[in-house]
Amino acid sequence: MKIGIMGTGYVGLVHGAVLAGNGFQVTCMDVDADKIKRLTDGITPLYEPGLDELLERGIREGTLSFTTSAKEVIQSSDVIFIAVGTPAKDDGSANLAYVHEVAQAIGKYANGYKVVVSKSTVPVGTNRTIARYLDGALKSRHAPFRLDVASNPEFLRQGKAVGDSRSPSRVVIGTESEQAKRMLQAVYETHIREDVPFLYTNLETAEMIKYASNSFLAVKISFVNELALLSEKVGADIGDIAAGMGLDERISPHFLQAGPGYGGSCFPKDTQALVDIGRRNGEELHIVRAAMTANEKQKSRMVAKIAEQLSFDGTLKGKTIAVWGLSFKPETDDIRDAPSYAVINGLLSRGAAVKAYCPQGMKQAQRQWTELNGLVTYCESEADCAQNADAIVLMTEWEQFREISWDILAKSMRGNAFFDLRNMFAEHPRVRRLFRYYPVGSSELAYTLEEAK
């Protein structure tokens, strides 16, 4: 069976590389000729642990290839995965322009029966619309074959995408065609053997599951973040609160970590899209909308908290702030809708000088946050970033930050404030001894014994 992947972003590239590793003949297509050339040469355009090795293996063994020709992929493939982006428009709705372009190409070039599978996150009803469009396109061509459409949403976590693709938590397949179902079962035969849970639904339900999953997690994050803000005011500790909540198996400890707000390519976009779907269908989704509002509040409160502790008047003029971490989570270079962007802008608006370091996110920041170029100083290391700074603001919990020589770093700074917006060092005695330590969700500050006396 030959497989075509339309789109070489995080989802398409990882999915294609893993399927090639499983022995399928996979061709990935993208309109970006420079990107395809680099991929053909084995150069990965994004950072994802384990992906480089998969690409190198697939290219070496001849199971993975790349092209800019939609016609080539469509006509040579038995199963075509649509894995293009669906970014949010200004009104929150999903931009389906790239999905429509792929559908039009399939309707134009299809030369026999194929299964068209949507991996892209699309609003409810999109795949039904694609199916009707393809049916009409084939009729206008008097084609003697049909195309089946299926929805197969991805549940990949960036930074762990390769492992999630190899061993998914579940596989959701939305289709009303038995033939399409059998072909996708063949594609995912490895998962079936490993007893991965499979759920078969109609198109609309599969589409909804993706939005429902991400929106629920976003609600959970916003809920604990609001509790964290309240905890700081009443003298409670959000770490212990989350631990106590998480012991209830109905709640679980997952996604109960307080922080500066959620970000990334999924949660912000998908919550906006789900609210838009509700609006278009006459159902206001109050809980999801509230989570979105709380998330924006969380980011602004982090900036206010920093300013309140570093100045008397709320301004940060003359202060230098070292920001550690730009990507929305560790083990990825993805900065889309990362909380760091809002926090950095907030610090700049209050007059601070901002230095930044991220193990993987700086190239993307310089490429995508062009309005910040010249305003933010990008540094070569976390130590370089902290030198002569009045405060450190930890935005992303990269593991390498644990290996720092704290005594040397503290001496290199002008001030000694440490705003740990991920509570990464809440149990780290040296950090709490050397710095005025400000976690999220706790009013307790760590001082040296001399200062306490």
What six digits make up the tokens of 418? 């440490």
**Maximum C-alpha span of the chain:** 88
Q: How far is CA 300 from CA 171, 261, 265, in A?
A: 37, 10, 20
Strand order in the sheet with 147-151: 64-67, 25-29, 2-6, 79-82, 114-118, 147-151, 171-174, 198-201
The tokens 């920001």 sit on which residue? 323
198 CB burial (10 A radius; 0-12, 13-18, 19+): middle
What six digits make up the tokens of 425? 């060092």
Instruction: Give yes or no: 358 in active site.
Output: no
Any bridge partners for residue 324, and if so which? 357, 394
The tokens 């009045």 sit on which residue? 390
At 65, is the secondary structure helix, strand, or coil?
Answer: strand
Quote the CA–CA distance of 295 and 268 in Å, as a whole number: 9
Check 266, 358, 379, 385 and give the catalytic one.
266
Termini Cα distance of the chain? 73
- Computed on alpha carbons and rounded to an integer, the radius of gyration of the chain in Å comes to 24
Quote the CA–CA distance of 399 and 325 in Å, as a whole number: 11
Quote the CA–CA distance of 153 and 322 in Å, as a whole number: 38
Beta-strand relationship, 25-29 and 436-438: unpaired
One-letter amino acid at 274 equals L
User: 361: closest CA among 387, 382, 331, 391?
Assistant: 331
Catalytic (active-site) positions: 266
